[in-house]
Structure 1
């Protein structure tokens, strides 16, 4: 399914353009059928194996799929089998960065905020070497559109100040657009990983 054509976004303010693009991409993603979703979940495994955007083993944060996001659980299972320490994000509160707690396939999860699930509070907190980042859209310069809370932008900015970290946007290939509106608080991704490509941003 082709992504929407949104050239008219240039005539809007930044916030309006982001809001319009979010709505369009959420609708586009809802339209994907189950077969396309299953194929994409396996496709990201193949593209990651082909390009290797981060060291394996290492500490990697993934995400549990919500709102029709691509399903990373098969990929996370593969990474765990290859010796990676896995973590899932925890929203600590509005305006704060994300916390990451260790998670292993089969571990229990608890409800978080905004419809998320997260590792139990007793699980160890870690800082990832690589972040698999959910997205609604990404462009060829590495600018990402998320849900508007700024959690990943704040987190990536803080981590980059402290240590080398690789931020990899993960989604369906149709979420790659020619251009995504962005502002001074947005953080560029280092890589894009989809079911059809793994692209580094220079």
Structure 2
């Protein structure tokens, strides 16, 4: 099985797992994710932190973003600039207007201004104990992390439901490891 086939199979399995979560479990997980963050504090505040607007069946990180604002952080949300490109980040605060982006995302309008994050909260389909992350396959976060890490230190925190932690994520030369994993049941650093 090729790397692409292995990733495709794991993506399908993890999407099915995530779909089976009920609304009550999802709401509880969002609140618990916030609490796990507050217990561990995986980075120094204040910082510029990029979140994301949850799509599909992703864990809802909006309570976490509210907690980040309370800790004095400035927030940003990602903007997909095009296939094969890195992400751009625009400044945003809870309650400010958003516009439709690609893949069903919401993003701040161009007038919000670009900002470069110190910390990236990264969505995932799966993560393993070594910090390898499986996303949707576009490579946007990997390209972005390569670019940012080439210039300065940034912290990448993968977030998801605890059921998204797996024994092994297939990875290749273009994949970037996470620095932390934050779920509704744990926060752990990768060394």
Taking structure 2 as the reference length, the TM-score comes to 0.99
In structure 1, the residue matched to 2:74 is 85
Shift, 1:124, TM fit: 1.6
Q: How many residues align?
A: 191
1:63-106 C-alpha deviation (Å, 9 max, x unpaired):
10001000001110111122110000000000000000001010
Verify: 1:34 aligned to 2:23, yes or no.
yes
- Give the 3-state SS of the residue equivalent to 2:102 in structure 1: coil
Query: Is there any run of 5+ residues in structure 2 with no aligned partner, and where?
Result: none
Shift, 1:114, TM fit: 1.2
Shift, 1:57, TM fit: 1.2
CA distance in 1, matches of 2:145, 2:97: 26
CA distance in 1, matches of 2:99, 2:190: 35
Query: Is there any run of 5+ residues in structure 1 with no aligned partner, and where?
Result: 1-11
- Give the 3-state SS of the residue equivalent to 1:95 in structure 2: coil
1:140-195 C-alpha deviation (Å, 9 max, x unpaired):
00000000000000001110011110000000000000101000000000000001
In structure 2, the residue matched to 1:196 is 185
CA distance in 1, matches of 2:43, 2:145: 16
Structure 1 outlier segments of 4+, above 6 Å = none
Taking structure 1 as the reference length, the TM-score comes to 0.93
Superposition RMSD in Å:
0.6
Identify which of 160, 182, 185 aligns with 2:171.
182
CA distance in 1, matches of 2:92, 2:44: 19
Verify: 1:103 aligned to 2:95, yes or no.
no
